[in-house]
Structure 1
């Protein structure tokens, strides 16, 4: 797929930290319960750390206690790309930034959380940047 923002690998490596690159560009996962936004309740907008595209809003963030920030819906369905992921012998749905193709995490359905969509977008904190709401 072609993205609005495409850069050579060397440029991504220069712009991102080693850990950001590993997660965003190589579909890695940060350790559970260690991410910057796992437990935050700050109101605001969550954007892609790689390109700045708006992805999620705090209104859709919920406490899933899974070890990563969880949202029940992206800001717009077109903000994320959903891709079948068969890695590690599992069937999952990967969530990518639709603007730059960066890996964000995975989305799960039917887990029984009391959310309007019955979905859990399980997103790596390191894939996001929170812009707090101005008071």
Structure 2
């Protein structure tokens, strides 16, 4: 089992076990701002690595790999890792949002519009609560 040397090994073990869970959460969180997203059923998803298929609102397809290093694009088609992808040349993104922000202007626009809409709803709810308290 993992030794407790200040939490480092336990922490790494926990992060690796969470790859599939994190990929599932990412699918749920970005589905509103992309045309299509799923966890790959053809590539091997493990506790250390998960693959997602994403089609942006621009119609661009990506196969995205998630590891403890982060998210990176590994292919330009669903369920396909390009043999030409060199790990040393790959850009890893800390979050799926950062990856999409860099590669999909329509994602950025949709995210901003959705956030503005939620803030407006929150403002209306707070305004209604203040009106109710005054009466």
TM-score bin, normalised by smaller chain: under 0.3
Bigger helix share: 2
Bigger strand share: 1
